[in-house]
């Protein structure tokens, strides 16, 4: 296929000692894919001169565009700029436009005096094209060498995203041969990866070589993704749709949604479409369920609020769970989550409510109720549906699985 | 330095189209660092035979140990196992021990019949050492070739972590030359990266070449990390400590903590040490603040609960904010957060409470109160401290910055 590929090189010791998780690469890959630039490699190297140099050599052998993020800060552990200057045979010069912008930031926004280090941020190799950064002090830089394009961006996520969205992505299609890449994703629940594979075996075998199927298990659910590439956009779209519909038909009993949409966004859409509202009463998830719901822009249209009754005294005082119920059945019980769900629905005047209570670990488990034991209740104004789970993983995963399963029960309740 | 380095290769198209963020690599890097194995490279490649093959060749040129994660699932998009089989000149054989374990999982845990695909998960190349996986069906595999060690692990995070913690990490020190790596990290707040760099310029210049300083800005705070390596563990420790103390002294006005500990863990420790409790009243952060606090194991010792009053009606009905206050000053106002903080402290009978209200975007901003405007109040039983912020970023970052700043104000209040 006659396509230009890209590589992403992320720079920083912190990536190699596990101090930070690299979210930049995933975001960049997604955006580049959208405009038809596939990624061949993503590589992380430390703040080591020879390793960065070698990575530039190596990636430019295989890819047309090489993205470099990180190492552009004002401090001395950031060696990317001097290295790029040398790699592309340049000399540092003060970029007047960048300098004016840095000055403006200090005078009008930060309202602090500039220091020498800040002035140096406006210096760039004279062999680069400056990619302006309206929201930070370190500009991006573009170099071209032997037919390859090198784009260096700051590692601070919101600055990198700003330069990509406003400067780089609009410019790229005129500089490289893009290919037509199409994805279609569906989300299933209640079936394991291998059973799903068996179920759709026939549909998978029928796929042509330019359409690939991927299984993506996450939080107890499995996404199926078809990815196709081809020169004829319309033909490809027709083909992918046909195979996607066949897949959908086969997994219909487990289908959550036929788009690449997180469950909490789907919940938002379902509630909005129906003009319904929801509230939550959380114990063990400690706000994570509410956080997922409210991470969606516009959530205030359907989400009223939550009572996080982490301590049993709050279950009694705010959610009116009688002490006798807690004594007899415990905080992690069907009886308790039913009362929590009913009460929060009443307090918040909502159409639906979700209540969760469980033992997330690492401590607090007993023989009868081990770590990972969870009760979930979904109430509307007519009835309450409950379900119990035994996750038995670590704290982080138990919290995640509890929230995702609660959202999935809510989805089923909303859809009736 | 005579040290064995490691490389991490992660496999999966989903990493190159940005559908998932790779958290595995960061975790692995951290654990390997702890036992003295530095990482030279992290690389992500797609489910492409030639690319994986090339990456194995390339990384084994530079590193002693090559970790490979992903692509071991039961489905046909997972090509890692057949590739490794060929790369190491093996033939697939059924591993009896793994097969017995997979059978046990299906009969006793999953309580479902096995299918062919599951049986195949117990097949391994006859040239590998099986690394057992007690919590999943795909075992890890170890190969040795020309003095290099290759370790292949499943991509499912909790399974990868289990095999690493229980099988790989205990075994490695006997197989490779580890080096002595030491880190010391401190966290600052209220000073930008470049000003911090200017402040500690002298201390930085005084560092010997085997001790490196890194600036790690995140969520409006900056961590400083010293990393040293050397053969004499005790001498290195003394040296690092001396430089670390000098740094600490210089940044004392901005120092949050002199360890690599997230702020929410620090809050937990401070409250526990003092036998104090806290509650929260969240509007704009929608549960994220509570989630951070309760993500710490044992949080129930000091965290009582929260009222998430996302809708104004809940601010009135549950938190007793008078309608007249909301009408006059608005939900995002000093007056409102003061009342929220006081009331939740009263309802939850806590020593401290935190209240936040703001406009996270992308919608809901006005000229007077633009997106990013936030009010935070911290109450104890004697007084309320308030502060307003103007973040003006995107929704995700505004939520994060609001929560982090609220926690930092809480920290200051607890410390008196």
pLDDT tens-digit series, residues A346-355: 999 999 999 9
Beta carbons of A30 and B18 less than 8 Å apart: yes
**Chain segment A70-114, per-residue pLDDT in tens:** 877 666 667 899 999 999 999 999 999 999 998 988 888 777 788
Please check the confidence at residue A116 and state whether its pLDDT lies above 70: yes
Chain A residues whose CB is inside 8 A of the B314 CB are 304-305, 347-348
Are residues A280 and A254 in contact, defined by beta-carbon separation less than 8 angstroms? Answer: no
Are residues B289 and A280 in contact, defined by beta-carbon separation less than 8 angstroms? Answer: no
Are residues B25 and B45 in contact, defined by beta-carbon separation less than 8 angstroms? Answer: no
Predicted local confidence at residue A77, as pLDDT: 67
Q: pTM for the complete prediction?
A: 0.87
Average pLDDT over residues A294-322: 97
Are residues B184 and B241 in contact, defined by beta-carbon separation less than 8 angstroms? Answer: yes
The alpha carbon of B365 is separated from its chain's Cα centroid by a whole number of angstroms, namely 31
Partner-chain residue, chosen from B17, B313, B314, that has the shortest CB–CB distance to A33: B17
Extended strands (E) in B132-244: 140-145, 148-153, 181-189, 211-218, 221-229
Q: Return the SS3 of A383.
A: coil
Predicted local confidence at residue B76, as pLDDT: 64
- Cα–Cα dist B408/B264, whole Å: 9
Q: Which residues contact A159 (CB under 8 A, 6 or more apart)?
A: A133, A135, A136, A138, A153
Percent of chain B topping pLDDT 70 = 98
Percent of chain B topping pLDDT 90 = 74
- Cα–Cα dist A358/A26, whole Å: 33
Q: What is the mean pLDDT of chain B?
A: 93
Beta carbons of A195 and B15 less than 8 Å apart: no
What residue of B is the nearest CA neighbor of A28? Answer: B18
What count of other Cβ atoms lies within 10 Å of the Cβ of residue B100? 11
**Chain segment A187-227, per-residue pLDDT in tens:** 999 898 888 999 999 999 999 989 989 888 888 899 999 99
Per-range mean pLDDT, top range of A118-132, A226-240, A286-300, B197-211: A286-300
Partner-chain residue, chosen from B215, B309, B318, that has the shortest CB–CB distance to A75: B215
Predicted local confidence at residue A136, as pLDDT: 86
CB pairs under 8 A between A and B: 323
**ipTM more than 0.95?**
no
Percent of chain A topping pLDDT 70 = 98
Predicted local confidence at residue A36, as pLDDT: 87
Taking phi over 0 as left and psi of -120 to 50 as alpha, with beta for the rest, B98 belongs to alpha
Please check the confidence at residue A230 and state whether its pLDDT lies above 90: no
Chain B residues whose CB is inside 8 A of the A156 CB are 217
Interface probe for B, chosen from A32, A36, A75 (most Cβ of B below 10 Å), is A75
Q: At what angle do helices A49-62 and A80-87 cross, to 10 degrees?
A: 50
Q: Which of B136, B143, B132, B135 is nearest to B95 (CA)?
A: B132
Please check the confidence at residue B78 and state whether its pLDDT lies above 80: no
A223: phi then psi, degrees, rounded to nearest 5: -95, 145
Predicted local confidence at residue B270, as pLDDT: 98
Q: Which of A30, A21, A173, A15 is nearest to B16 (CA)?
A: A30
Residue B119 vs residue B60, higher pLDDT: B60
Residue A236 vs residue B180, higher pLDDT: A236
Predicted local confidence at residue A92, as pLDDT: 93
- Cα–Cα dist B313/B294, whole Å: 26
Interface probe for B, chosen from A17, A48, A109 (most Cβ of B below 10 Å), is A17
Q: Which of B124, B379, B393, B150 is nearest to B276 (CA)?
A: B379
**Chain segment B328-380, per-residue pLDDT in tens:** 999 999 999 999 999 999 999 999 999 999 999 999 999 999 999 999 999 99
Q: Return the SS3 of B236.
A: helix
Average pLDDT over residues B53-59: 95
Sheet holding A181-189, edge to edge: A211-218, A221-229, A181-189, A255-257
Paired strand residues for A131: A140
Are residues A73 and A13 in contact, defined by beta-carbon separation less than 8 angstroms? Answer: no
Average pLDDT over residues B126-149: 94
**Chain segment B242-279, per-residue pLDDT in tens:** 999 999 999 999 999 999 999 999 999 999 999 999 99
**Chain segment A355-400, per-residue pLDDT in tens:** 999 999 999 999 999 999 999 999 999 999 999 999 878 899 899 9
Partner-chain residue, chosen from A51, A77, A297, that has the shortest CB–CB distance to B362: A297
Predicted local confidence at residue A2, as pLDDT: 60
Average pLDDT over residues B181-194: 91
Predicted local confidence at residue A1, as pLDDT: 46
Q: Which residues contact B342 (CB under 8 A, 6 or more apart)?
A: B353, B379, B384
Paired strand residues for A186: A224
- Cα–Cα dist A364/A371, whole Å: 7
What residue of B is the nearest CA neighbor of A345? Answer: B314
Are residues B26 and B58 in contact, defined by beta-carbon separation less than 8 angstroms? Answer: no
Average pLDDT over residues B316-339: 97
Taken in order of first residue, the domains within chain A and their CATH numbers are: 6-174 (3.40.980.10), 181-257 (3.30.70.2860), 263-415 (3.90.950.20)
Average pLDDT over residues B190-212: 91
Predicted local confidence at residue A180, as pLDDT: 86
Beta carbons of B21 and A21 less than 8 Å apart: yes
- Give chain A's radius of gyration (CA, Å): 26
Please check the confidence at residue B3 and state whether its pLDDT lies above 80: no
């Amino acid at each position: 296929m006659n396509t230009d590929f890209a590589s992403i090189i992320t720079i920083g010791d912190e990536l190699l000692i596990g101090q930070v998780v690299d979210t930049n690469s995933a975001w960049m890959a997604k955006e580049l894919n959208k405009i038809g630039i596939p990624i061949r490699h993503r590589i992380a190297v430390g703040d080591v001169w020879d390793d960065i140099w070698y990575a530039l050599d190596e990636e430019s052998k295989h890819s047309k565009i090489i993205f470099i993020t990180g190492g552009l800060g004002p401090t001395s552990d950031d060696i990317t700029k001097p290295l790029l200057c040398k790699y592309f045979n340049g000399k540092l010069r003060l970029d007047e436009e960048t300098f004016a912008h840095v000055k403006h930031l200090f005078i009008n926004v930060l309202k602090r005096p500039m220091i020498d280090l800040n002035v140096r941020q406006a210096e760039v190799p004279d062999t680069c094209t400056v990619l302006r950064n309206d929201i930070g002090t370190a500009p991006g830089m573009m170099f071209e060498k032997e037919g390859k394009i090198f784009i260096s961006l700051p590692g601070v996520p919101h600055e990198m995203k700003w330069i990509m969205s406003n400067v780089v992505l609009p410019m790229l299609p005129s500089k490289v041969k893009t290919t037509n890449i199409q994805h279609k994703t569906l989300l299933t629940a209640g079936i394991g990866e291998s059973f799903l594979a068996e179920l759709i075996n026939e549909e998978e075998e029928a796929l042509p070589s330019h359409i690939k199927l991927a299984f993506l298990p996450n939080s107890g659910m499995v996404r199926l993704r078809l990815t196709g590439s081809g020169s004829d956009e319309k033909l490809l779209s027709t083909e992918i749709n046909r195979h996607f519909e066949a897949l959908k038909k086969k997994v219909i009993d487990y289908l959550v949604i036929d788009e690449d949409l997180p469950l909490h966004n789907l919940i938002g859409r379902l509630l909005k479409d129906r003009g319904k509202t929801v509230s939550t009463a959380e114990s063990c998830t400690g706000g994570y369920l509410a956080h997922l719901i409210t991470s969606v822009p516009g959530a205030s249209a359907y989400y009223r609020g939550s009572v996080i009754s982490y301590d049993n005294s709050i279950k009694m005082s705010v959610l009116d769970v009688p002490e006798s119920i807690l004594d007899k059945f415990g905080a992690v019980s069907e009886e308790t989550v039913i009362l929590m769900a009913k009460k929060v629905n009443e307090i918040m005047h909502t159409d639906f409510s979700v209540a969760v209570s469980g033992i997330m670990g690492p401590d607090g488990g007993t023989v009868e109720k081990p770590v990972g034991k969870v009760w979930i209740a979904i109430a509307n104004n007519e009835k309450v549906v409950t379900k119990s789970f035994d996750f038995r993983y670590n704290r982080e995963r138990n919290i995640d699985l509890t929230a995702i399963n609660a959202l999935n029960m809510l989805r089923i309740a909303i859809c009736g």
